Amino acid sequence: MSVPAPHPFASTTAEFAANLAAVQANIAAAAERAGRSADEVRLLPVSKTVPEDRLCLAIAAGCHRLGENKVQEAKRKSESLARLGVDWAVIGHLQTNKAKDVASFATEFQALDNLRVAQALDRRLTDLGRTLEVYVQVNTSAEESKFGLPPEELAGFLRELPRYETLRVQGLMTLALFTSDTDRVRECFRTLRTLRDRMREESPDLIGTGELSMGMSGDYELAIEEGATCVRVGQAIFGARNTPDSKYWPPTRPHD
Ligand SMILES: *Cc1c(COP(=O)(O)O)cnc(C)c1O
């Protein structure tokens, strides 16, 4: 396999616009390879670790919804950038005691995998008169990650969600294995799509529009070929991050 080019750092609105256009072109090409329309794929820019001054440039370049992994960082940014009217998507694992924060500012939460969090979110959202778009996170890489539901628990979990009326289920989310073995990466994405297809057949009213949030800077093109309708892309838009990914999800086996 060829060594991927390093992600270009963007520090002007024009550079952000260029990075966004490059990612959109890759999205369109991947969609076309799969016989899909690029309109079916939403690009969610992921802005974790990026400071507010650079976020203003990205917003000026056309980012209207931003994904963040950590609640405190997302909340801080949502407050300091409130005047710019961006929507916030929390895409990382949530502890129950942080649910009330998410309920207060987020439009979207992509990592729902336990009912205590669902209940805490719903209680708070009800108080605030808000709703939240949610994706249920599934662990498609088996033993390699501790976040996300095991596939066999998904149907039972989805059956519990309608009681939380403020949660608007959109579909499913996953993180693929971190490996250069693209067959194994594809396998994770296919597992998510198969689960979605099965749910659509068995209980279509439990899975919203059946969105599939899968794919990040290193693998979004593969994910689109396998059916992604939302890709979460950080480094390819904002530039390479220094913070190791183990800060955002538990260490897995060494990247192979
Ligand atoms: C950081 C992150 C991404 C984006 O990763 P990049 O390598 O920056 O594209 C996607 N999903 C989740 C859950 C993340 O935490």
pLDDT at res. 243: 74
Write out the two tokens for 231.
């890709």
**How many C-beta atoms surround the C-beta of residue 107 within 10 A?**
15
What is the distance in A from the centroid of ligand 1 to the CA of 67?
A: 9
Cα dihedral 11, 13, 17, 23, rounded to 10, equals: 30
- Average pLDDT of span 64-75: 97
215 lines ligand 1 (CB under 6 A): no
> For the segment 93-132, what is each residue's pLDDT rounded down to a tens digit?
999 999 999 999 999 999 999 999 999 999 999 999 999 9
Report, as an integer, the average pLDDT of 22-34. Answer: 98
Mean pLDDT of 2-27: 89
> Is the distance from the beta carbon of residue 140 to the nearest atom of ligand 1 less than 6 Å?
no
Q: Is the CB–ligand 1 distance for residue 70 below 6 Å?
A: no
CA distance 105 to 83: 13
pLDDT of residue 255: 41
* Res 3: pLDDT: 56
What pLDDT was estimated at residue 254? 42
Q: Whose CA is nearest to atom 8 of ligand 1?
A: 234
Residue whose Cα lies nearest atom 15 of ligand 1: it is: 69
Residue 54 has pLDDT above 50, yes or no: yes
Mean pLDDT, the chain, as a whole number?
93
Percentage, residues of the chain above pLDDT 70? 94
Q: Are strands 230-233 and 42-45 parallel, antiparallel or unpaired?
A: parallel
Confidence of residue 153 (pLDDT cuts 50, 70, 90): very high
106 Rama class: left (phi>0) / alpha (psi -120 to 50) / beta: beta
Query: What average pLDDT score do residues 133-156 get?
Result: 92
- State the distance from the centre of ligand 1 to the C-alpha of 58, rounded, in angstroms: 17
From 110, 174, 216, the mutation candidate for ligand 1 (largest count of ligand atoms within 8 A of CB) is: 216
Ligand 1 site, residue 7, Cβ cutoff 6 A: no
pLDDT in tens, 193-211: 999 999 999 999 999 999 9
Q: Is the pLDDT of residue 23 over 70?
A: yes
Return phi, psi of residue 86, to 5°: -85, 155
Instruction: Give the tens place of pLDDT for each residue, 242-256.
Output: 877 777 766 554 443
Cβ-Cβ contacts under 8 Å for 249 (sequence gap 6 or more): 92, 93, 145, 147, 175
* SS3 category, 132: strand
Residues 167 and 181: their CA atoms lie apart, in Å, by 36
Cα 22 to Cα 10, 17, 236, distances in angstroms? 12, 9, 9
pTM: 0.94
Domains for the chain: give ranges and CATH numbers: 13-238 (3.20.20.10)
pLDDT of residue 145: 72
Q: How far is the CA of 49 from the centre of ligand 1 (A)?
A: 11
